[in-house]
Amino acid sequence: MQLKHKIVTLSVMPLIVSVLFICVLVFAQSRKLEEEQARLVESSIMAAKKAEIKNYLELALSLIAPLYDSGRDDEEAKQQALHMLSRANFGLDGYFFVYDRHGKNLMHPRQANLVGKELIGMKDKNGLPVIQALLESAENGDGYQLYTWEKPSTGQVTEKLSYVVMLDRWGWMLGTGIYIDDVEVATLKSRQEVATGVLTTVLAIASFSLIAVLVVFTGGLMLNFTEHRLADRKLSALNQRIVHLQEEERSRVSRELHDGISQQLVSIKFQFELASLELENGQGRGMENLRAGTARLGEAIGEIRRISHDLRPSLLDTLGLSPAIEQLVREFEQRTAIRTQYERGLDDSSLDMDVRVTLFRIIQEALGNIERHSRASAAIISLASSQGAIALRVEDNGVGFDPGLMDRSQGIGLRNIRERVDHHHGTFTLSSMSGRTELQVEIPLQRA
């Protein structure tokens, strides 16, 4: 083999191996991202559906409340309540059902053949005793139960999420549910989107690699130290792009969660409609339902604002870092009643946006840890310029913990803080004892 061929081979082989390694790494990371995103989508949808069916059941309880709260236990009152519930359907497959404590079906608007039957031993296709599990959830659990049931619109057996409560005086279990076959569709769509993105990335890498190999073969001895430095810069740009993609993903999820609150608003609309009907009929509960719906609407608006702010605060983009931190502190104090002081000693107007995001996310994560773990009554946030570096300090008077357990912990919060600081070539220290926990971060000014 001639020398130039040896040089080309020695140049091409590391490139090919590196490309293969990157492709394997991309596939491995994509699988992890795919699973994480699928879990996030599934958990978000399930949380929304739980809130939705709970709101529907509260609406049903409000329908029969005049009869139940009147103290009447006669059969006529019960039959009136069952009649009202049988007509209170929602959507294509939404309905309410009633069982007694022994598993006897008292009302089922979509499967009349079940009414009057003892179904305590009925099992779904997975072997779960459905009615028994629902009774246990109503008596001792949180009221939610997942099982399989026949979907009225299609006649197929599919997954169903139900929420049940006990009406103790009448001995009734009242419940409703939502079929969740669409969760699997949404999860599959999420996986396909990730897979499409990964395929595009791999094709881009493969195309770039093919061009690079052709250049190496045609150029031969032209490979030198400059080419290696160019490859390093591109790898650094790829890493930076990953960070940007994470922030872009947060913004996208923020919009999706914002739209996902619509189910709760639909439930509020139903309550307003109920209040309107009661007011037209001169019933006294109309104003009460109207006020309750208004209060829940305010809660929904507040939840939208809170979720959107947690994912991407608008003040960080419009007014800068300090106003965003001040808003974060105010919301933290309102939510937790922990007195929090923000000491501003830094002009952040000239800071790079990446550094602003890093500092804000670190403070956000630190306050989240204080809220979840510290049992503190006061906290201090200090941001200043010190000895050619940006100095951030977050301190609280909580119970403390052992910092030596941090590296062995399964949590990712402190790990994310460390990775963000390392990205800017900064330093991160954490000290803790009973009554005082302090987090300190320093980022060189030339990096900011």
Q: Going by DSSP bridges, is the β-strand pair 389-396/436-444 parallel, antiparallel, or unpaired?
A: antiparallel
- Judged against a pLDDT cut of 90, whether residue 317 lies above it is answered with no
Q: What mean pLDDT is predicted for residues 135-145? A: 90
Supply 16's token pair. Answer: 């090919």
Q: Count CA within 13 A, CB hemisphere, residue 244.
A: 7
C-alpha 283/C-alpha 72 separation (Å) is 18
C-alpha 372/C-alpha 336 separation (Å) is 10
C-alpha 289/C-alpha 275 separation (Å) is 5
pLDDT for the residue numbered 5: 61
pLDDT for the residue numbered 81: 92
- Judged against a pLDDT cut of 60, whether residue 448 lies above it is answered with no
What global pTM score does this model have? Answer: 0.40
Evaluate whether 398 touches 373 at the Cβ level (below 8 Å): yes
Amino acid letter at 390? Answer: I
Q: What mean pLDDT is predicted for residues 372-382? A: 91
* Spatial strand order in the sheet of 427-433: 339-345, 378-386, 389-396, 436-444, 427-433
What digits encode the pLDDT tens for the residues 40-67?
Answer: 877 888 888 899 999 999 999 999 999 8
Evaluate whether 205 touches 19 at the Cβ level (below 8 Å): yes
Higher-pLDDT residue of 231 and 285 is 285
Higher-pLDDT residue of 307 and 375 is 375
- Judged against a pLDDT cut of 90, whether residue 133 lies above it is answered with yes
- Judged against a pLDDT cut of 60, whether residue 224 lies above it is answered with no
pLDDT for the residue numbered 253: 59
- Judged against a pLDDT cut of 90, whether residue 196 lies above it is answered with no
Q: What mean pLDDT is predicted for residues 375-380? A: 93
pLDDT for the residue numbered 211: 78
Other residues' Cβ atoms within 10 Å of the Cβ of residue 201 = 16
